């Protein structure tokens, strides 16, 4: 295992009462869109920390073309300069790529911290295919950040329809981390149309 992987296997340090965003992704590679989501979430949700959770591998994506974890970590570190952003790969040490298991582990270990799952609007469209997605929504509040091409996803996605009654207005976003789940909101703000897929295609051209 590389040195950078080893350094990122430990869960970041926390204090009781903190509000912490959990921003999971492949980051293959990380880009400006991720930074925009991170800063918007920190600002609008009033977060003390945002964990940039670099996944060992999205269970719904083929591993084809997935850069090594060490490379994705190094690029993420170089990009996320805000001290409130903690780049971590501790899911690898848990031996899971499933978000439900990650969240169960984190919330049991830190019952005195207010966690909120952060994801782009495109992920809301496939959220109902994630393992134990209902359990995730019952365990932590969720902030969905607008993304070009996915702005209206919340109208059509199975998860959004199922969780309709748990949706809170965007103006209540600051209170979201302390709300009893299920609770979710959709956050609008500056958008970026960058994607890792486009960057990989450009690189291989
Ligand atoms: N430009 C963006 N705007 C809003 N959310 C984004 C943006 N890019 C990525 N995200 C969100 O960041 C998280 C991690 O995404 P990921 O690392 O898969 O990047 P991606 O650009 O979507 O990658 P790929 O094109 O390979 O699917 C997801 O929740 C995704 O919705
Ligand atoms: O737990 C699942 O079943 C699951 C299915 C798809 C995606 N996820 C998680 O969603 C996050 C975003 O993944 P990605 O590849 O869209 O960046 C990342 O943390 C993945 O591990 C989780």
Q: Tabulate helix, strand, coil % of the chain (nearest 5).
A: 45, 15, 40
Hey, CA dihedral for 99, 104, 105, 107, is it positive or negative?
positive
- Mutate which of 88, 123, 149 for ligand 2? The one with the most ligand atoms within 8 Å of its CB, which is 123
The confidence band for 23, taking pLDDT boundaries of 50, 70 and 90, is very high
Question: Which residue CA neighbors atom 19 of ligand 2 most closely?
Answer: 24
Question: Per-domain residue ranges for the chain?
Answer: 3-204
Q: What angle do CA 106, 146, 154 make, to 5 degrees?
A: 85
Query: pLDDT tens across 129-175, in order?
Result: 999 999 999 999 999 999 999 988 878 899 999 999 999 999 999 99
Which pair of structure tokens corresponds to residue 70? 């060490």
Count CB-CB contacts under 10 A for residue 111: 7
Contact predicate 58/97, CB 8 Å: yes
Atom of ligand 1 at shortest range from CA of 123: 31
Whether the CB-CB separation of 116 and 21 falls below 8 Å is answered with: yes
Burial class (CB in 10 A: 0-12, 13-18, 19+), 109: exposed
Instruction: Tally Cβ neighbours within 10 Å of residue 194.
Output: 15
For ligand 2, the distance from its centroid to the CA atom of residue 54, given in whole angstroms, is 10
Rounded CA-CA distance 72/196 in Å is: 11
Q: What is the residue with the minimal CA distance to atom 13 of ligand 2?
A: 25
* Ligand 1 centroid from CA 24, angstroms: 9
CA–CA gap between residue 115 and residue 12 (Å, rounded): 13
Overall CATH class of domain 3-204: alpha beta
Which of 33-47, 95-109, 119-133, 146-160 is predicted with the least confidence, judged by mean pLDDT?
A: 146-160
ipTM: 0.99
pLDDT tens, position by position, 49-58: 999 999 999 9
Q: Structure pTM?
A: 0.98
């Amino acid at each position: 295992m590389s040195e950078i992987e080893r350094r990122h296997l430990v869960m970041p340090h926390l204090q009781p009462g903190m509000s912490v965003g959990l921003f999971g992704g492949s980051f293959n590679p990380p880009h400006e869109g991720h930074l925009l989501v991170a800063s918007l979430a920190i600002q609008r949700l009033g977060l003390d920390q945002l964990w940039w959770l670099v996944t060992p591998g999205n269970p719904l994506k083929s591993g084809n073309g997935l850069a090594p974890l060490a490379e994705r970590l190094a690029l993420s570190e170089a990009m996320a300069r805000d001290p409130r952003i903690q780049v971590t790969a501790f899911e690898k040490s848990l031996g899971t790529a499933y978000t439900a298991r990650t969240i169960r582990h984190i919330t049991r270990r830190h019952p005195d911290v207010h966690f909120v799952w952060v994801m782009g609007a495109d992920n809301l469209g496939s959220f109902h295919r994630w393992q134990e997605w209902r359990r995730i929504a019952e365990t932590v509040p969720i902030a969905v950040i607008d993304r070009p091409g996915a702005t209206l996803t919340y109208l059509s996605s199975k998860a959004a329809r199922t969780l309709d009654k748990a949706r809170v207005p965007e103006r209540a976003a600051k209170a979201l981390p302390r709300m009893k789940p299920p609770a979710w909101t959709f956050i609008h703000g500056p958008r970026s149309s960058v994607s890792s897929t486009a960057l990989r295609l450009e690189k291989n051209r």
